[in-house]
C-alpha cells in the first residue's frame, strides 16, 4: 500500500544565484565535473554536469540537489545518459523527512537528511555544512545513497570527523572505506583521494 504523497515544493521557483563554480577531475578513473554552488532566500542548491567512464562505457550525468537553509536535502533531480539510453531519477523529501521517488515512498530512507550521489564529490558538502563540526569532533550519519551506474538506492552509514579547519576524515560502512577530505570555507571539496581533486574555480 502506498502512502499519499504530500506537496513538498512551492509553485514559485526560487531565484538562484551562483556563489561558486568549479571543476573537479577524477583521480582513480577517467572523468570530470563542472559544478555550481547556488543560493537563494530559501536555501542552497548543488548543480553539476559529470562526464565519466564506468567499466569502459561513457556516461554523462546532469543533476541538481536542492536544500533548505540548514542544508537538509529537499529534492534531487538526476538525468543520466549512456549512448542512446537515458535514465532519470527524481527524489523529494517532505516535512516529515519521508523520501519519495515519484509517487512512491522510499521507506528505507525515512528519517534521513542527506543525499549522497556516488558519481560526484559535491554531496560531501551537505553533512560538512549541516553538522558544522568543531575540530576534533565527529558525527555519525546515514545518507540516502544513489549508486552508479544504475541509480539504485541504498542507505549508507557514514562518519565525519573534523581533523583541522579544512580537513575531514570520512568513513563509510563501519570504516571499511576511509578518506581524508580537504574542503574550502564553503565546505566544497578541494581534494578527496583517491577519487577527486579540484583543478579550477571562480576564486576564494
What one-character-per-residue DSSP string does 62-120 give?
A: EEEEEE-TT--EEEEEEEEEETTEEEEEEEEE-TT--EEETTEE-GGGTT--EEEETT-
Pairing of strands 104-105, 114-117: unpaired
Per-residue pLDDT of the chain (204 residues; tens, 9 = 90+): 444 444 444 456 678 999 999 999 999 899 999 999 999 989 999 999 999 998 888 999 999 999 999 999 999 999 999 988 999 999 999 999 999 999 999 999 999 999 999 999 999 999 999 999 999 999 999 999 999 999 999 999 999 999 999 999 999 988 789 999 999 999 999 999 999 999 999 975
| CA nearest neighbour of 47 among 10, 69, 17, 26 | 17
CA distance 124 to 114: 9
pLDDT at position 84: 84
CA distance 124 to 159: 11
Looking at residue 184, what DSSP letter applies? -
* Distance of alpha carbon 87 from the chain centroid: 18
pLDDT at position 12: 66
pLDDT at position 8: 45
Using a 10 angstrom Cβ sphere, with 0-12 exposed, 13-18 middle and 19 or more buried, the burial of residue 114 is buried
Specify the pTM.
Answer: 0.91
pLDDT at position 7: 45
Please give the grid coordinates belonging to residue 175: 570504516
CA distance 51 to 110: 31
Amino acid at each position: 500500500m502506498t502512502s499519499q504523497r504530500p506537496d513538498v515544493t512551492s509553485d514559485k521557483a526560487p531565484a538562484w544565484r551562483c556563489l561558486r563554480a568549479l571543476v573537479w577531475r577524477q583521480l582513480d578513473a577517467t572523468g570530470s565535473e563542472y559544478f555550481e554552488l547556488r543560493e537563494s532566500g530559501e536555501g542552497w542548491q548543488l548543480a553539476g554536469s559529470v562526464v565519466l567512464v564506468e567499466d569502459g562505457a561513457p556516461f554523462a550525468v546532469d543533476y541538481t540537489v536542492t536544500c533548505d537553509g540548514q542544508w537538509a536535502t529537499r529534492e534531487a533531480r538526476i538525468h543520466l545518459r549512456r549512448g542512446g539510453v537515458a535514465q532519470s531519477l527524481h527524489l523529494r523529501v517532505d516535512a516529515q523527512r519521508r523520501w519519495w521517488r515519484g509517487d512512491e515512498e522510499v521507506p528505507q530512507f525515512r528519517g534521513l537528511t542527506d543525499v549522497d550521489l556516488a558519481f560526484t564529490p559535491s554531496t560531501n558538502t551537505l553533512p560538512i555544512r549541516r553538522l558544522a563540526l568543531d575540530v576534533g569532533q565527529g558525527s555519525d550519519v546515514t545518507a540516502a545513497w544513489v549508486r552508479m551506474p544504475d541509480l539504485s538506492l541504498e542507505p549508507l552509514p557514514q562518519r565525519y570527523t573534523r581533523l583541522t579547519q579544512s580537513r575531514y576524515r570520512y568513513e563509510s560502512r563501519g570504516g571499511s572505506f576511509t578518506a581524508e577530505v580537504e574542503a574550502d570555507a564553503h565546505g566544497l571539496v578541494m581534494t578527496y583521494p583517491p577519487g577527486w581533486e579540484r583543478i579550477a574555480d571562480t576564486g576564494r
